[in-house]
Amino acid sequence: MTVDELDRERLAAWLAGQSLVDRPEALVVDPISGGNQNIVARLGDGTRRMVLRRPPRIVPDGRDAAMEREFRLLTALEGTDVPHATPLALCTDHDVLGATFYVMSEVDGWSPAASMFWPEPFAPEHGVAPRRRLALELVRGLATLSAVDWQARGLTGFGRPDGFHERQVDRWTAHWDRFRFRDIPGLTEAGAWLRENVPSRWTPGIMHGDYSFLNVMFRHGPEPALAAVVDWEMATVGDPVLDLAWLMRQWPARAEDVHSRYVDYTGMPLRDEMVDIYRELTGNPLDHYRYYQVLANFKLAIVLEGGYARYLNGEVDNPKVAHYNDSILDAGRVAAELVAGA
């Protein structure tokens, strides 16, 4: 399903019933670039601009519930320092668009995922200082999220922090077994090592689950500031340090590697400095950080393998998913190397 296939009349009527549009007959629905796993569209009737998120054409198991979880989390973040889109309405009636979806405010900002050419002064040719501050703002956003009092925000039951790490290997292996069609080199060794190296002490907090430059937006203008963290479909209450390891998995460790990833990291702090900055911002000593690195790669390989399996089965339309294979094998390799180096 594409945005063009959405039933605009039903959508317009539902939006009017929620008092979100004044002129349903004038509703405009435009696709938004980015988002390989969901349908994301901009809505407007000439007076108000919103964004809709709906599962893909073939709705994977659990994705309707994931939409409800995203909406619940956005609601819980209202009034916190975490920049986010304002949740407006949730629809669980499949007669409207065939799946659960929700509508939120449109964020006024720019997305690093939308273009290879970032606006001034953040393009590489415009100097080092602005890009460094952009990276600092990214890691500061992650630290801010980790500090939210999730219980006070009504998120008890949103995740299961008790036994979080003890469940990780079994949880992700069970997920993998739903679509497994091959072995991924390195994951057996990584899984066995993770079971034996569970952190003894850690502090539960809100996890985004897929935090990176691709899932944030920045405010327009020369001063780097997060406008919103987006794409909360993997969020839970767990160990926020895993978010850091997830973000750092793609981050260059050496100056000669700044051009070799999906983002040009020219002028930004290298991986070790970013980890140190997070440590300073949060006061977390980051004990057992290698464990988090291994788990991030273990989890990433399985998450991407799920999308790749659906692509091979014809359940995903986005051709970008065809390129997941290299990243899957790379994550397995890195996990095994980290275990061997431990």
For residue 138, the model assigns a pLDDT of 98
For residue 318, the model assigns a pLDDT of 77
Instruction: Over range 51-69, report the average pLDDT.
Output: 91
Percentage of the chain modeled with pLDDT above 90: 82
Q: Are 192 and 107 in contact (CB under 8 A)?
A: no
**What's the pTM value of the predicted model, to 2 decimals?**
0.92
- Tens-digit pLDDT profile for residues 97-141: 999 999 999 999 999 988 778 999 998 877 789 999 999 999 999
What CATH number belongs to 3-105?
Answer: 3.30.200.20
pLDDT at 332 over 50: yes
| C-alpha–C-alpha distance, residues 147 and 81, integer Å | 9
For residue 6, the model assigns a pLDDT of 87
Grade residue 1 by pLDDT with cuts at 50, 70 and 90. Answer: low
> Encoding tokens for residue 119?
């606006």
Instruction: Over range 252-280, report the average pLDDT.
Output: 92
For residue 166, the model assigns a pLDDT of 97
For residue 35, the model assigns a pLDDT of 47
Sign of the C-alpha dihedral, residues 83, 84, 85, 87? negative
- Mean pLDDT, the chain, integer: 93
For residue 189, the model assigns a pLDDT of 97
Secondary element (H or E) of residue 306 = helix 289-312
Contacts for 165 with CB less than 8 Å, ≥ 6 apart: 198, 199, 202, 239
For residue 323, the model assigns a pLDDT of 87
- CA-CA distances (angstroms) from residue 136 to 223, 242, 243, 270? 12, 18, 15, 11
| DSSP-derived secondary structure for 215-273 | GEEE-SSSS--EEEE---TT-EEE-THHHHHHHHHSS-SSGGGTTSSSS--TTSPPHHH
- Tens-digit pLDDT profile for residues 185-207: 999 999 999 999 999 999 999 99
- Tens-digit pLDDT profile for residues 154-196: 999 999 999 999 999 999 999 999 999 999 999 999 999 999 9
- Tens-digit pLDDT profile for residues 5-53: 789 999 999 999 999 999 999 999 998 864 457 899 999 988 889 999 9
As its CATH architecture, domain 124-341 has: Alpha-Beta Complex (3.90)
For residue 315, the model assigns a pLDDT of 83
**What is the residue extent of each domain of the chain?**
3-105, 124-341
